[in-house]
Chains A and B, each alone.
Chain A
Amino acid sequence: MEISLREVSFAYKVGDRPLPVLESINVRVAPGDFLAITGSGGSGKSTLAMLMAGLLEPVAGRVILDGKPVRGRGKGKTHSAWHKVGMVFQQPEQQLFAETVADDVAFGPGNLGFTGSELETRVEEALRAVGLDPQKIGGHSPFRLSGGQQRRVAIAGVLAMDPEVLILDEPTAGLDPAGREQVLGVIRSFYRRPGKAVVLISHNMAEVAAMARQVIVLYQGRVALQGTPREIFRQGEALKTYGLIPPPLTRLMQELQRRGAPVSPEIFTLAEARAAILAWLGA
């Protein structure tokens, strides 16, 4: 599945005046891609995610799935390929509603027409994929779980629809570090499967650095920067204009470089930072 947005603009209507949110956006996501979309609050990240998931329609430009221009989810008469695109909203646990974890996860694939043992298999696989034991937890009320577990149940509900592209809007926001790690693990193992692609909306820079292959920085509704995480974080302090701050180890290396140390400003991991500092101090 390939999602492509060409010259897409979007505006909300406030009274009778348009409030522009996104302007002339070009994005493409193909199997094997891991795209992070980042930017300050109000830069248009969530709106872009909804357009990429077919939940909003652009006011200008085209949305193309596997080469075919399409309308939004549920719009128009033709059968659409949107069911291959899964979207995890911000704080998705707030939308859990069923009496049991298994019922909640079964809701999406049930709507796609799956029943019986096929539906059961999908639910069990999705729960296992998020690190929850369907036998142990499937019959529990979702409301008795911890915040991190609830969020993983909500993600399982999307995975149970077997998407090819998974779009997640701030999937770790508000979670504690252990919960964050678990959710990132779920995303990583989804991405490792052949033919899958991930779009991660996040303003957690350490997360973007560790996970994404490509990064888009939005600023006031336009693409301000685009590149690999290293290319993006190389900008250092300039990123502040866009509401962003490089991860701590990258900032450390940039600060040392600014003082005149011969170290690379494009370092993310502890191992890289350690090696660079030891090499510099040893020289």
Chain B
Amino acid sequence: MIEVQGVTFFYPGTREPALENISLTIRPGEFLAITGPNGSGKSTLARLLNGLLRPGKGRVLVDGLDTADAASLVEIRRRVGMVFQDPDNQLVAATVEDDVAFGPENLGLPPAAVRQRVAAALEAVELADLKTRPPHRLSGGQKQRLALAGVLAMEPVYLVLDEATAMLDPVGREEVLKKVLALRREKGLAVILITHFMEEAALAERMLVLNEGRIILSGPPADVLQQEEGLAKAGLKAPAIVALGKSLRQAGVKLPASIVTVEEMARALWKLASGK
């Protein structure tokens, strides 16, 4: 469990807090989406989860380990893996496999264990065929999957994706997200998805909307995405499917408000049409 307890955070030299009195619990295996406008504190929150930043006030506990305790940081960062928007900043080695090996080697694992973790991680992100390729010869989507493999090789418990799909094409985005959600199902990995794409946030179990450093909405996407006013305050808009659902309900079509995806909408409409 990650527990964020009453956290306030100021960047040096600023008078406005980037985050103010945030409390939040993230369960193992959970799929949580965090959205909000640029500057709302999303990335700051992400960086607090694995101790890249330390709270000014309050505490962050990762499975009971306090991120303020320097001696726990190595273990905390192994448990909480992060993938950022720009994979180029995260890739370090001359070949794909060396890049993935970097983290496990730093854990001091024996070579055989490192090799096995690298193989498993590359398999998981479907890059095994490209293991001898230099990272800069990969496409954007492949680089992002490589960054993901580097994190997976650490066998994390929580995976934080900070706008990790923002620069990818639609299929690349779907690819990375599908892979991550499959890993969640297989390994019980918790996924914390930080995104501007409401369609992606809608897939989560729970979503948070941050605005000006505070959590202004929180709950299942189907509920949060109905809160037009709150979303508008944060400069966000419900996904097209949610907006269509609302518009159809207003026209008298009996659709549940819980519909957030294309597939759910197609199924519900088809059921209505064939039920007549």
Interface set of A (CB-CB < 8 Å, partner B): 39-42, 146-148, 170, 173-179, 203, 205-206, 240, 243-245, 247-249, 251-252, 255-256, 259, 261, 270, 273-274, 277-278, 280-281
> 1/0 per residue B236-276: CB within 8 Å of A?
11011101100110010100000000110110011011000
CB neighbours (8 Å) of A273 from chain B are 244
CB-CB contacts of B172-195 with A at 8 A, as 1s and 0s? Answer: 101000000000000000000000
Asked whether B247 lies within 8 Å of A274 as measured between CB atoms, the reply is: yes
Q: Does B235 contact A (CB under 8 A)?
A: yes
**Chain B interface, DSSP helix/strand/loop, else mixed:** helix
- Selected from A40, A177, A240, the residue in CB contact (under 8 A) with B198 is A177
Task: For the complex of A and B, list the 6 residue pairs with the smallest distance between their C-beta atoms, beginning with the closest.
Answer: A178-B235, A41-B140, A255-B266, A245-B170, A203-B169, A42-B139
Query: For residue A240, which residues in chain B have a CB less than 8 angstroms away from its CB?
Result: 171
CB distance from B244 to the nearest CB of A (A): 6
**What are the residues of chain A within 8 A of B199 when measuring CB–CB?**
248
Residues of B participating in the A interface, judged by any CB pair closer than 8 Å: 36-39, 85, 139-141, 163, 166-172, 174, 196, 198-199, 235-237, 239-241, 243-244, 247-248, 251, 253, 262-263, 265-266, 269-270, 272-273
Q: Which of B167, B253, B262 contacts A251 (CB 8 A)?
A: B262
Instruction: Give, as a whole number of angstroms, the nearest-CB distance from B95 to chain A.
Output: 16
Most A CB contacts (10 A, CB to CB) among B174, B199, B266, B270 go to: B266
The reply to whether B266 and A256 contact each other, CB–CB distance below 8 Å, is yes
Chain A interface main SS type = helix
Question: Is the beta-carbon distance between A244 and B37 smaller than 8 angstroms?
Answer: no
Q: State in angstroms the CA–CA spacing of A247 and B196 once bound together.
A: 16
In the complex, what distance in Å separates the CA atom of A203 from the CA atom of B173? 11
The winner among B139, B163, B172, B262 for most chain A CB atoms within 10 A is B262
Most buried by A among B141, B169, B253: B169
For A249, the chain B residues whose CB sits under 8 A away are 240-241, 244
